Structure 1
Amino acid sequence: MTRSSGPQTWFITGCSSGFGEQLVQQLRALGDNVVATGRNADTKLAHLKDTGATILDLDVTASQAELDAKFQQAIDIYGSVDVLVNNAGYIQVGALEELTQEDMQRSLDTNFHGPVNLTRSALPHFRSKGENGGGLIIYMSSQGGFIGEPAGAGYCASKFALEGAVESLSRELGWLAPGIKLLILQPGHFRTEVMSKLNHVPHRVDFWKPLNDAARTRGAGNYGHEPGDPAKMVARVIDIAKGTGAAEGKEIPLRIPFGSDCVGFMNGKLETIHKTMEDWDEVSRSTDFPDHEAPMPALPK
């Protein structure tokens, strides 16, 4: 992918508020073309019409054919798309035992299958851009895509799954289409409307009532007091996409955490992982066949 500070065309999901809304506003202020999408777009995205963005109604849980058609519509309007941002999300809160398979499926449909299906919509277009392809696909994950949280099993499971799939795709593309770049964003707590839109499961198992009550209290208490500034994060993401400002001269990594709280939590988990690797190294290595000498075939990086 050739990064440029010049105008780009962006296709963004989940634009009604938060990071999606900020992206639309900041990108339009820079003169970029933006296709802003969301459910019930006529009402929920009406406040973005004055920006000059193209507004499309899109539910990321729609069929592959419908997602393909929406992405093609963006190409027809602007001639090309440079950046796809998978931002739409759904947060289901509740203890794992109380979450039904249907509850888990709602999280997976929005947070995993939606971005993966839109990626399928975008890849043929990005592959067509030169010998190595070209384009950037951004995935809004979370610190919950790296750290499991109490009452967050549905959300974390969907984000863990997304990160695993995207990491696999990055190695596939690195082998055959290195011009297509992927970027996973891992924000901590940012001052958006997320905490006001949590989907709490009803109390189903008495044992977990204290946990679920605490999760409700935590969500309400966090709302409006999150440490992260979404405008600042979006500005950094735009820098990364364009190779300007804070990202000038830097290669796009696969993952970037955002927010001091996220960095702290992730470093804590990494320290635990490193300690486990050191403490259990001999046990871990003791399970090979004694005559195993040849290294495993190398995989594409």
Structure 2
Amino acid sequence: MTKQTWLITGCSSGFGELFVRQLTAQGDQVVATGRNAETRLAHLKETGAAILDLDVTAPQAEIEKKFKEAWDIYGTIDVLVNNAGYIQCGAMEEITQEELQRSFDTMVHGPINLTRAALPYFRERGSGWLLYMNSQSGFVGEPGATAYCASKFAIEGAVESLSKELAWLAPGIKPLIIESGIHGTEIMANLQHVTPRVPFWQPLNDAARTRGRGNYENPAGDAADMISKVIQIVKGTGVGAGREIPLRIPFGSDCLSEMREKIKQLQKTYDEWESVAISTDYEEGKRPMPRLPGVE
């Protein structure tokens, strides 16, 4: 099996920690990152991973310096794993702009800035993996999860655009979105709940707390097994052997079920509204010719 070098964000627990432990056990080189890394990632030093302090919400210039620092540790990076994240709960009316911005800084701007930092290195080499640890919440909206779903939807759209750019001009660089259902990690134990501001939404906030506890205590999926399979996909072994890897791969029966139900509802809407949708098209032969700006 080919050994690789991985840069992983959000390694203090959950998926990030599992990546570090499984990859180093296989002999791969890992740069494990997180905020306040010397203390929050101290438990990973025994794995042999390089530990690097990295706040994904830092400005672009600082992110680029950190990526170069990570690259220089081993002289390469083969796989960038954008994993850092958290769940901010609360209805849209109660979520403040600042709370929404923090979610976007962590789960949209952070991964995009790191991607920008990685691309010059990957383009020069002609290869590299860009992993985005996402969620079913990037495709299916959830009540009481405005900030989380909005950020997860946003990164899905950005990476889909990136995938088409790369397919055109840099096909050796592979983006991959992992859409995860509920797996057994600490993220559900560390939900951030909005400060109650509108009494009307208190039942929703109470339900979010109850659901979060239930998901933490009785997750649908095995997180370690999922990460093992994600690694296999990148390496082209196990479940990834001989397969063409798509842009998105879902994990968890709960995720798959919700996505299929939404697709079914979308298809129903498209079928029922097709005649209205196409009614605004120009008639054949009457479509105006496109003009360049400033050209008559």
TM bin, normalised by shorter chain, reads over 0.9
Range 7-16 or range 215-224, more displaced: 215-224
CA apart distance, 1:221: 2.3
Q: Check 1:292–1:121 CA distance in 2 against 1; reply closer, same or farther (3 A cut).
A: farther
Q: Percent identity?
A: 64
For the pair 1:210 / 2:203, whether they are aligned, the reply is yes
Hey, what does 2:271 align to over in structure 1? 278
User: RMSD of the alignment, in Å?
Assistant: 1.4
**Per-residue Cα deviation, 1:143-200 (whole angstroms, up to 9, x for no partner):** 0000000001100000100000000011011111000000001101011001111110
Hey, what does 2:65 align to over in structure 1? 69
**Per-residue Cα deviation, 1:68-115 (whole angstroms, up to 9, x for no partner):** 111111221111110000000021100000011111001000010000
CA apart distance, 1:224: 2.3
Range 209-218 or range 155-164, more displaced: 209-218
For 1:292 and 1:223, how far apart are their aligned partners in 2? 59
* 1:14 partner letter: G
- Which of 99, 104, 114 does residue 103 from structure 1 map onto? 99
For 1:40 and 1:67, how far apart are their aligned partners in 2? 15
Secondary structure of the 2:131 match is: strand
For the pair 1:184 / 2:177, whether they are aligned, the reply is yes
Hey, what does 2:224 align to over in structure 1? 231
CA apart distance, 1:293: 7.5
- Which of 31, 38, 41 does residue 37 from structure 2 map onto? 41
For the pair 1:244 / 2:240, whether they are aligned, the reply is no
CA apart distance, 1:291: 3.2
Hey, what does 1:87 align to over in structure 2? 83
**Per-residue Cα deviation, 1:18-70 (whole angstroms, up to 9, x for no partner):** 11000000000110000000011111111110110000011100111111111
For 1:66 and 1:239, how far apart are their aligned partners in 2? 32
Secondary structure of the 2:258 match is: helix
User: What is the correspondence of 1:257-296 to structure 2 with a 5 Å cutoff?
Assistant: 257-291=250-284
* 2:234 partner letter: A
Hey, what does 2:12 align to over in structure 1? 16
Hey, what does 1:121 align to over in structure 2? 117
For 1:40 and 1:292, how far apart are their aligned partners in 2? 63
For 1:205 and 1:216, how far apart are their aligned partners in 2? 17
Q: Check 1:293–1:234 CA distance in 2 against 1; reply closer, same or farther (3 A cut).
A: farther
For 1:147 and 1:134, how far apart are their aligned partners in 2? 32
Structure 2 residues not aligned, in runs of 5+: 291-296
Pairs aligned (count): 289
Structure 1 residues not aligned, in runs of 5+: none
Q: Check 1:292–1:84 CA distance in 2 against 1; reply closer, same or farther (3 A cut).
A: farther
Q: Check 1:29–1:95 CA distance in 2 against 1; reply closer, same or farther (3 A cut).
A: same
Secondary structure of the 2:178 match is: strand
For 2:145 and 2:238, how far apart are their aligned partners in 1? 35
> TM-score normalized by structure 2?
0.95
For 2:225 and 2:11, how far apart are their aligned partners in 1? 17
Hey, what does 1:58 align to over in structure 2? 54
> TM-score normalized by structure 1?
0.94
For 1:35 and 1:224, how far apart are their aligned partners in 2? 30
Hey, what does 2:27 align to over in structure 1? 31
